[in-house]
Structure 1
Amino acid sequence: MTQLLWQKPGVKVDERIQRFLAGEDVILDREFFLFDIEASRAHAEGLQQIGILTGEELDGIKRELSVLAEDFRAGRFVLDEQFEDGHSAIEARLIERLGDTGRRIHTGRSRNDQVLVATRLWLKDRLARVAALCRESAEVALARATAEASLPIPGYTHLQRAMVSSGGMWWAAWAEGFIDDAVRARDTLAWVDANPLGSAAGYGVNLPLARDHTTQALGFGRMQVAATYAQLSRGKFEMGAIDALGAALLDVRRLAWDLSLFTSAEFGFVALPAEYTTGSSIMPNKRNPDVVELMRASYSAVAAARTEIEQLLSLPSGYHRDLQFSKGAIFHAFGRGLGALELLPDLLRNLEWRPERMRAALDPSMYATDLAVDLARQGMPFRDAYKQAADPARWAEGDPEASLASRVSPGAAGDLRLDVLQRRLDALQ
């Protein structure tokens, strides 16, 4: 391992203790190493503005940071156990290439605000991706709601046949859900869009750091002003981002449940794209909806990550090493969650209904609610109408398209209000 940034003369480093302290940190730091380099560039620019670096020194640092980023992308620079973490790797590289100039880069900053700003930039990037994927999924769902508005589908409550529903209603539900998820991801991104760089270890430094410059250079919406709060927000902002991701994954979980049921032989309502299924290792007859099942399971990683971070935050103010463990949690949550969301739009585009199976599942009992409401509309008290409509003798084969057309309450099959959803979707562009 390279010389530790904090190592003092005469202090012996116990390798077992150091392994425990470092843990997987240097490996995890690969996730936001490029963001750490980006923030180092902005910090160096700020140091030049206040006279800590000369223009020539700044040019050298920026040049070497660009080379480091390119070497990392190309695999020529590997972030591994020779470094304590990604932050020390950047400093070691600059010192190796630039000598004393590289030794100046850490002036006015701590690894505390260095990890905060890299994490914050990473979260912004991931939340933008969540919002984009939710928006794309909503676009697909809304287009299919329009195209399949009058397609009869059995509607269920308690997994029992309930009422006649429609393709329009099923798709509109997911369209609105993913619009909400996109809005939440976007709003959460705006909330975490605050620059902590320059807060140092949480108490500021005796330099007029150019925090306005780094805020603008890194594309933050605002500066996180209170230096101590920058530390207090670590974990809190990560949980907020995970909550936004989790909202989308909860919708994915319920949608995947529908598809798991609808693709079974007992339902047979849906055929999945072949690439979204796998075979059995022993049963030649099987095509299993494994992708859908793993999409359904993905929320578990998000929930676990949130719990892990929440349990870390039983801390007083100031920085504590416990927070190091928050990195793995967010990487796992977004890795698993975005993996599921990436597959969703194409799944929604390409799943196929089996209308004959859905129509065959519509039985006379599913028109009983329509009958009760019709009797009430004719003047009968609803509770009396309910009793009459509950009599199986009054049930008869119905016309599903007529039932759907008559369902004119706003948001129902006869008045889907898809234009309202389209306007909300357009506002996300």
Structure 2
Amino acid sequence: MEKAWEGRFREPTEEFVEEFTQSVSFDKRLALYDIQQSLAHVETLQKAGILSQQEAESIKGALLKVKEKITKGEFSFRRELEDVHMNIEKALIEELGPMGGKVHTGRSRNDQVVTDLRLYLKEEINHILDLLSGLRRRLVRLAEETLEVVAPSYTHLQRAQPIRLAHYFLAYREAFLEDTDRFVNAFRRVDALALGSGAVAGVDFPLDRFFTAQKLGFRSVLRNSMHATGDRGFLLDVLYSCAVCGMHLSRLSEDLILWSSEEFGFVELPDRLCTGSSIMPQKKNPDVLELIRGKAGRLYGNLLSLLTVLKGLPMAYNRDLQEDKEPLFDSLDTLKGCLKGASLVLEGLKVREDKLRAAAGGFTLATDLANYLVGKGVPFREAHRIVGSLVAKLVEEGRSLQDVTLEDLRTFSPLFQEDVLKLLDPLVVADRRQTYGGTSKERVKEQIELAKREEGL
């Protein structure tokens, strides 16, 4: 088949080259965005006097016919035409004859593909923001439902201090709120027009790029044609946002995997989101959460892949940039699936309050015993040593802090009085964390109400 660029060449293209260089097998997902920007480009060409009104109307009509075929799944993408852009242009020429070729006046595939990607990403980012919103709202609801549930917190995967379980769910809500901000910032950088930059140096036709930007709904116009066609920093912003969000989803998944095990028993996962074993009848495997945890590595890999592609490229466009799409498409698809999976798991999550309360007591109360002594005038380091010695003794005897009596405590310091015994209740201890951002009931209720307002609940 005749190539758009073959006038320069004296040999036919090797079949291997056609197969090796084609991108239509994956960039065809940009087809509707390519038509969207082509429709705007035609109007810009007409405004510049390059196309007559009749020509513009004919080309737009043909573009809409192609769009209809694509939407219905009736359009045949051909690999020998290299990419989505040439497939659509070829369809126009077949429909209109030579007039169809006028659609490419004043543009290059270099600025065309960046425009397609930016249009595509604006829609995809909005979809991800919707999924993040749903996940955050579910975490707020869980926080409301578990305000009165006490749980152990962990550092180094060792029990640390008692918290209200709502505080834990709000912690992840904060993480996903930051992820939301990252995607919003990425959207801002994506939301700029590249079309009209040409291949590298701009366009020698009087095209009104600001008119084109208005037609396509872009907030701004990229100011430098070389940067517009040769840079993919905006894709890195998106891939980085995907990777960080994937990390947070992975950490949440890891917690719930551990907490749903028999060893912890803090939560129960919904049967409909778990699988069994082909050999062990008793198994209930958290496969959705494990895959979310595993797919985080994919999101990291896609970011590193594009960073590596870009690191040695001379300014401006190079064919290496064709390698930007597959990692981008994969990360967006992967993250959307992970966000949906996490939301479904949280919707069906059952909390086992008795297990959590039992685990929240014991040695997690030690810091407050030390702080009690500080309140009696003991330097914190000395108080830390006293309570540490108490804990060591109890461990040797196979006892817990919740087993101790006032006499036991006074063996280590005569400053312990009857009022210290109230510190053996994990909810009392949790409620002593009154600083802003702490886990006391008052502070957590404040954060729940703030989160509800922010989420429109």
Same structural fold, with TM-score higher than 0.5 when normalized by the shorter chain: yes
Residue type of the alignment partner of 2:6: Q
Indicate whether 1:150 and 2:148 are aligned.
Answer: yes
Distance 1:279 1:3 in 2: 55
Distance 2:117 2:33 in 1: 8
Q: Give 1:18 shift.
A: 2.1
**3-state DSSP class of the match of 1:30?**
helix
Residue type of the alignment partner of 1:7: E
Residue type of the alignment partner of 2:215: A
Partner of 2:250: 253
Partner of 1:403: 429
Distance 1:185 1:346 in 2: 22
Q: Contact 1:156 / 1:162 at 8 angstroms: preserved in 2?
A: yes
Q: Give 1:413 shift.
A: 1.6
Distance 1:364 1:42 in 2: 68
1:142-196 alpha-carbon deviations (Å, 9 max, x no partner): 2221231221112111111222122111111011111111111111101121110
Distance 2:275 2:342 in 1: 17
Q: Contact 2:152 / 2:159 at 8 angstroms: preserved in 1?
A: yes
Structure 1 vs Structure 2 CA RMSD: 1.8
Indicate whether 1:16 and 2:22 are aligned.
Answer: no
Distance 2:154 2:288 in 1: 24
**3-state DSSP class of the match of 1:278?**
coil
Distance 1:80 1:270 in 2: 52
Indicate whether 1:298 and 2:302 are aligned.
Answer: no
Q: Contact 1:153 / 1:358 at 8 angstroms: preserved in 2?
A: yes
Q: Give 1:343 shift.
A: 2.2
Aligned counterparts, 1:409-428, within 5 A: 409-414=435-440, 415-416=443-444, 417-418=446-447, 419-425=449-455
Equivalent residue for 1:115, pick from 98, 113, 116: 113
Partner of 2:177: 179
Q: Contact 1:132 / 1:182 at 8 angstroms: preserved in 2?
A: no
Distance 2:155 2:106 in 1: 60
Distance 1:36 1:244 in 2: 25
Distance 1:387 1:425 in 2: 45
Q: Give 1:63 shift.
A: 1.9
Partner of 1:341: 339
Q: Contact 1:371 / 1:389 at 8 angstroms: preserved in 2?
A: yes
Q: Mark the CA change 1:421 to 1:112 in structure 2 (over 3 Å): closer, same or farther.
A: same
* Unmatched tracts of structure 1, length 5 or more: none
Q: Give 1:113 shift.
A: 0.6
Larger gyration radius, structure 1 or structure 2: 2
Partner of 2:372: 374
Distance 1:78 1:269 in 2: 53
Distance 2:78 2:154 in 1: 53
Q: Contact 2:361 / 2:425 at 8 angstroms: preserved in 1?
A: no
Residue type of the alignment partner of 2:11: V
**Runs of 4+ residues over 6 Å off in structure 1:** none
Residue type of the alignment partner of 2:402: A
Bigger shift: 52-61 or 87-96? 52-61
Q: How many residues align?
A: 423
Q: Give 1:400 shift.
A: 2.1
Indicate whether 1:6 and 2:19 are aligned.
Answer: no
Indicate whether 1:268 and 2:270 are aligned.
Answer: no
Residue type of the alignment partner of 1:309: L
Aligned counterparts, 1:18-33, within 5 A: 18-22=18-22, 25-33=23-31
**3-state DSSP class of the match of 1:164?**
strand
Bigger shift: 117-126 or 142-151? 142-151
Distance 1:334 1:270 in 2: 30
Residue type of the alignment partner of 1:21: T
Q: Give 1:378 shift.
A: 3.6
Distance 2:200 2:216 in 1: 20
1:118-152 alpha-carbon deviations (Å, 9 max, x no partner): 11111222222222222221111122212312211
Bigger shift: 162-171 or 106-115? 162-171
Q: Contact 2:163 / 2:427 at 8 angstroms: preserved in 1?
A: no
Residue type of the alignment partner of 1:406: R
**3-state DSSP class of the match of 2:104?**
coil
Residue type of the alignment partner of 2:292: M
**What TM-score does the superposition give when structure 1 sets the normalisation length?**
0.94
**3-state DSSP class of the match of 1:266?**
coil
Q: Mark the CA change 1:358 to 1:80 in structure 2 (over 3 Å): closer, same or farther.
A: farther
Residue type of the alignment partner of 1:245: C
**3-state DSSP class of the match of 1:396?**
helix
1:229-274 alpha-carbon deviations (Å, 9 max, x no partner): 10232x2111111111122111101000001101111111111122
Q: Give 1:425 shift.
A: 4.3
Distance 1:147 1:353 in 2: 10
Q: Percent identity?
A: 34
Q: Give 1:83 shift.
A: 2.7
Distance 2:239 2:185 in 1: 13
Aligned counterparts, 1:81-160, within 5 A: 81-160=79-158
1:10-60 alpha-carbon deviations (Å, 9 max, x no partner): 4322112222222xx111112211111111111111111111112122222
Equivalent residue for 1:310, pick from 285, 307, 313: 307
Distance 2:356 2:145 in 1: 17
Q: Give 1:423 shift.
A: 4.9
Q: Give 1:424 shift.
A: 4.7
Residue type of the alignment partner of 1:122: Y
Q: Contact 1:156 / 1:163 at 8 angstroms: preserved in 2?
A: yes
Partner of 1:243: 240
Distance 2:146 2:12 in 1: 71
Q: Contact 2:289 / 2:342 at 8 angstroms: preserved in 1?
A: no
**3-state DSSP class of the match of 2:151?**
strand
Bigger shift: 286-295 or 374-383? 374-383
Indicate whether 1:289 and 2:278 are aligned.
Answer: no
